[in-house]
Structure 1
Amino acid sequence: MTARVSGATLVPVAICAPEHRQAILWAAILASSMGFIDSSVTANALPAMRASLAASLPQAQWFSGIYLLALTSLILVGGALGDRFGTARGFGMGIILFVVSSLGCALAISPATMIVARGLQGVAAALMVPGSMAIIGRAFPREERGAALGLWAAASIATASAGPILAGLCLMVDPVSGWRWIFALNLPLGGISLWLLARFALADQGRPGVPIDYIGAALATLGFGLVAYGLSAETGESLALMAVGFAVLAAFIVWEARCPAPMIRLSMFRVRRFSAINLATFLLYFAVTGIGFYLPMTAVSAWGADALAMVAAFLPGALMIATLSTRMGKLADRLGPARFLVCGAVLVALSQAGLAMTAHEALYWTRAVPLMWLSGFGMALLVAPLTTVVMTSATDADQGAASGINNAVARAASLLAIALMGRMAASGYGAIGADMPGFGVIAATPAHIAATGAGFSHIAGLAAIASLASALVSAWGLRKPR
């Protein structure tokens, strides 16, 4: 491995030989794909999982919540540990734990075992996802990094979109236990990724002379955990938990500013591009996650669609992301990323505004589906440039921390979207009639359909505002200095 010395710190620059870069890239893509698929698979599979495991509604909600909670709480730690002990080593350990916990999910026999296995998946993803970005950043020189990260981003977003699609296909084959095959699919994917990593990655010692920031890691984990858990708790308890969580995160920032060897360097946020792209990421993922989580629920419960019909809404967007993102990454390297981030986010905002304005019509095939295609095209324009800006805004020494921060921002936005938009949907639904089944419950009465449309309109309207704000932040943060 080549290296350079910056002060007293040994900074890894390459993780593999030049002729092995593509193999490492595919190892990162396969591994991160597991994490992104499993972050979205429960949206369509949740009713079948609940019936198969005899789970109550709160238990079923934790099948998804515990994964996001663990990932959000620990992803900063995962990025920092990868920098400290070696990117390849931390990445490999994350893959192994993810494969083992996926087997636990596939074989779960009770709600408790599923919740534990999903929590372990979140811990593993906290090592694996930032490690996949960092290992690409260290395998490719800066002039080639945009295209490589564009391909990684395309695969990541496409597979996240594929979660509901795969769930629908598996449930079509086996309506009772087809969801288990989604988790079992991680075994061969993880095995191939581990083989590529072991075969082609060079020894990566990390930065053995730098002490571990155990206090910072504990504060970050506790703070993010309390905030994330508070978002899913009852209203009164939620405010108290979130207040304590934000106080702990404030203590984390104070500690990082004074710690001699911090987990993250706060000076990274003095770079306008880095701060802006993380804020734009938060706003965009808040919007996209809210629509992705609640559109299937709305369409199945009130618009006459089923789990398999979600393929029509999500698959074209996933294909556009997969086929266009590499080209967008190369164009962004040549023309600059700002125009792609702004135009893509504006298209996503237009799609979500259309969903808000047409939700009362309850027309899945002629309204929601084409609007989701527009959103998919917008995401195809921006996902590769967004990832490139994140990684090129940080030094080689901070690649793991940069990816960890950006992923923590995205997952925190996802948690906030699911919690806040759920309350907005319930409020919009209840304004039509409080005596009806409730938002997300399958029913065919005109009043229920109208109330569900009102609830989803609230969600889509907020999402459109957030996506437009993301475009404005990108335009401001990435503008060229005079």
Structure 2
Amino acid sequence: MTNITQRPWYEAAILSAPYKPSSKNFEKWVLAATIIGSSMAMMDVTVVNVALPILQTVLDGTAAEMQWVVESYSLFLSALILVGGSLSDRFGRRKIYAAGVILFALASAWCGLSSTVNQLIIARAVQGIGGALLVPGSLAIISAVFEGEKRSKAIGTWAGFTAITSALGTVLGGWLVEECSWRWIFFLNLPLAVIVLGISFLYMPESFGEDSPKLDWWGTLLATLGLGTLVYGLIESCNLSLTHPLVVTCLVVGTLIMCAFILVEAKSSSPMMPLNLFKSKTFSGANLLTLLLYSALGGVFYLVPFDLIQIQHYSATAAGAAFLPYILIMFFLSEWSGSLMCRYGARLPLTLGPLLTAVGFALFIIPGIGGSYWTTFFPGIIVLGFGMTISAAPLTTTVMSAVNQRQAGIASGINNAIARTAGLIAIAVFNIFLFNAFNYNLDRYLAKLNIPLSVIEQLSEQRFKLAGAEIPANVTEEMRRTLQEAITFSFVDGFRLVMLIAALLAFASALVAFLTIKNRPEVSEEPSSNASKQQYIVLTHH
């Protein structure tokens, strides 16, 4: 579900793509190819979160390994998406788009055929590379094929269809996992990829970017290594503890590599992340807001399916449908949200929206075990939907208007990368809190019970699976129920702690907005009608 909460690359694509006319007969086919290709990538992200609890059981995975199923994809997508856009501009958008589709499809087949967790993690990493080539190109291709009002209409159509498919993807993925097999959530990409490639080679014209900058390979390498090392250290801390030499080494080395990345970007003639943009207080504030708010969202959307399936005993289909109200609110209220900034300026919606989001996270603290969806998770999802709807368009517009128009594309790309990186780091950090809270509470519950030491030792070997921990076979039925209750209550206590942290992060993002965002956006040097289009499409895709 994390992709639902992250703003895509297309702001930059719209601003950078020159118009290259093509036959009108080709236009509908091109639009279909971009919609199907983007939907393929987006659905694959949303359905995986729903499948994680099932994957943990089927593949006998630990909580850390389930993190890597998500993180390996997000890591390469976050680090390479800026490069993917540059490659498209330089070598041809159709060519790179097709290459991304092919790589994504092959990696999807690998995912579906994986027999171990490690194979799945590696395949997901390759998927991330394919996604980094695929995602930036879809809107750039549309902008190169359509012009004027047709372009605006095509973008709106693309945004609407991809939003709907992302929403339906969670339900479809849950149904496939429940009725067929988890492998089909990946195999489903193969026929879609064939359709996209067929249309691309038959009807899609080639287009290139204007004045494409040199590729920042050093920046890309350092960003990938730095983020990967940090995430590895954070995830392994659950297995080894934060003070373990390997964990400390990874965190220190990862931090040093990220510092080297900043130095390289400061001296590079064509950096992937120009540091001069952060001289703007509004731009820096908007990106800090993004980091805090999307950290909360990324961690929550990762963990909620585990609670719904393993604790509340929802079916995979029901868990996939649980967040449909959130998606529908963002879709149908997108145009209303886009008008908020015109009426009230940027500061008010960017303060009120995250505050509502914080309330939504806080409402997730209330549910215990059991109860109706409508009185447990539904209220929090509704408030969360309204909070993010109010926040999304003003945040995007603020980022875009805080820099010169010619830099709007790279500003959007940076903000998008920060949003994805926030989710990447948050999943690892939130799991540290969840893991430690789970173990603390489990020890507390077990201390009150008359459990044989041998059983406790056997159970300790299962702690890394959290709520998916298996009860030892050589216990009585009564003891089995008692131990299962201890595990369940321990997870719920840890889950509530994480929701509290998410609420505090969202509150902090509202405070950042109040202190740093100007009430009226800074005016770009070269105003463009694209800004209004961006407000609409960002929300509809969210």
TM-score bracket for this pair, using the shorter chain length: 0.7 to 0.9
Matched, 1:14 2:19: yes
Is the alpha carbon distance of 1:265 and 1:314 closer, same or farther for their aligned partners in structure 2, counting shifts above 3 Å?
same
Tell me, yes or no, if structure 1 residue 441 matches structure 2 residue 450. no
Deviation, 1:458, is: 0.7
Q: CA offsets, 1:45-71, max 9 Å, x none?
A: 134334555656654443223212222
Q: How does 1:63-462 map to 2 (within 5 A)?
A: 63-132=69-138, 162-174=168-180, 177=181, 179-194=182-197, 202-207=205-210, 210-234=213-237, 235=242, 236=244, 237-329=246-338, 339-356=348-365, 358-360=366-368, 363=371, 365=373, 366-391=375-400, 398=407, 401-434=410-443, 438=463, 439-441=466-468, 445=482, 446-462=485-501
Partners of 1:474 and 1:139 lie apart in 2 by: 38
- Indicate which of 27, 44, 55 corresponds to 1:49: 55
Larger radius of gyration: 2
Q: Which amino acid aligns with 1:440?
A: A
1:460–1:231 distance in 2 versus 1, CA, 3 Å: same
**For structure 2, which runs of at least 5 residues remain unmatched after alignment?**
1-15, 447-458, 470-479, 523-542
Q: Distance in 1 between matches of 2:143 and 2:358?
A: 30
* Secondary structure of the structure 2 residue equivalent to 1:206: coil
**CA distance 1:228–1:139, change in 2 (3 Å):** farther
Letter in 1 for 2:133: L
Equivalences, count: 468
Displacement of 1:223 after TM fit?
2.0
- Distance, in Å, in 2 between the alignment partners of 1:286 and 1:73 is 16
Cα offsets for 1:410-439 (capped at 9, x unmatched): 222112221111121223333433165653
Instruction: Give 2:512's match in structure 1, choosing from 443, 457, 473.
Output: 473
Tell me the distance in 1 between the aligned counterparts of 2:141 and 2:286. 20
61-70 vs 138-147, which moves further: 138-147
- Give the structure-2-normalised TM-score: 0.73
Partners of 2:363 and 2:379 within 8 A in 1 = no
Q: TM-score, normalised by structure 1?
A: 0.81
Deviation of 1:120 (Å): 0.8
* 134 and 209 in structure 1: CA distance in 2 versus 1, 3 angstrom threshold: closer
Partners of 1:58 and 1:219 in 2: CA distance: 24
Q: Give, as a single letter, the amino acid of the residue that structure 2 aligns with 1:267.
A: N
Could you tell me how far 1:478 is from its partner in structure 2?
4.5
Letter in 2 for 1:416: I
Separation (CA, whole Å) in 2 of partners of 1:407 and 1:42: 21
Q: In the TM superposition, what whole-angstrom CA distance separates every residue of 1:64-123 from its partner, at most 9, and x where no partner exists?
A: 232122223323332333344344543332223212212222233444432332111011
In the alignment, what sits opposite 1:40?
46
Give the counterpart letter for 2:519 in structure 1.
Answer: R
% same residue: 35
Separation in 1, partners of 2:98, 2:411: 19
Bigger CA drift: 427-436 or 63-72?
427-436
Q: What SS does structure 2 have at the residue aligned with 1:286?
A: helix
Distance 1:302 1:145 in 2: 47
**Contact preservation (8 Å) 1:24, 1:200:** yes
The 8 Å contact of residues 103 and 187 in structure 1, kept in 2 or not, is answered as: yes
- Name the structure 2 match of 1:4: none
Whether contact under 8 Å (1:104, 1:117) holds in the other structure is yes
- Mean Cα deviation higher: 433-442 or 423-432: 433-442
Write the distance in 2 (CA, Å) between the matches of 1:26 and 1:277.
Answer: 34
Separation (CA, whole Å) in 1 of partners of 2:312 and 2:97: 42
Spell out, residue by residue over 1:354-404, the C-alpha distance to the aligned partner (whole angstroms, 9 max, x if none). 222x14465462222222122123333433444454455566665664444
| Distance verdict in 2 for CA 1:161–1:223, change over 3 Å | farther
The one-letter code of the counterpart of 1:170 is L
**Paired AA for residue 64 in structure 1:** V
User: Over the residues paired in the alignment, what is the CA RMSD in angstroms?
Assistant: 3.8
Q: Which amino acid aligns with 1:462?
A: I
Contact 1:289 1:418 in 2 (8 A): yes
More divergent stretch after superposition (385-394 vs 116-125) = 385-394
- Aligned partner of 2:475 in structure 1 is none
1:408 is matched by which residue type in structure 2? A
- Which piece of structure 1 moves more, 341-350 or 282-291? 341-350
Is the Cα–Cα contact under 8 Å of residues 17 and 143 in structure 2 kept in the other structure?
no
- How far 1:463 moved relative to its partner? 0.8
Aligned residues of 2:96 and 2:134 also touching (Cα < 8 A) = yes
CA–CA separation in structure 1 for the residues paired with 2:275 and 2:341? 27
Query: d(CA) in 2 for partners of 1:138 and 1:228?
Result: 37
The answer as to whether partners of 2:309 and 2:315 remain within 8 angstroms in 1 is yes
Q: Distance in 2 between matches of 1:400 and 1:343?
A: 27
2:214 alignment partner AA: P
Retained in 2: the 8 A contact 1:154–1:384?
A: no
8 Å CA contact 2:102, 2:193 repeated in 1: yes
Question: Residues 280-308 of structure 1: CA distance to partner in whole angstroms, max 9, x if unpaired?
Answer: 22222211122212122123333343323
Contact 1:351-1:371 at 8 Å conserved across structures: yes
Secondary structure of 2:135 counterpart? helix
Partner deviation per Cα, 1:424-460 (whole Å, 9 max, x = no partner): 1223333433165653237864444432222111111
Question: In the alignment, residue 459 of structure 1 is paired with which amino acid?
Answer: V
Contact map agreement 1:72 1:224 (CA 8 A) in 2: no
Distance 2:391 2:317 in 1: 27
Pairwise CA distance, 1:272: 3.9
Partner of 1:3 in structure 2? none
Taking the aligned partners of 2:331 and 2:213, their CA distance within structure 1 comes to 39
SS in 1 for 2:269: coil
Query: In the alignment, is the contact (CA less than 8 A) between 2:177 and 2:185 conserved in 1?
Result: no
1:387–1:103 CA distance, 2 compared to 1 (3 A): farther
Residues 346 and 98 of structure 1: CA distance in aligned 2, closer, same or farther (over 3 Å): same
Q: 1:108 to 1:450 in 2, by over 3 A?
A: closer
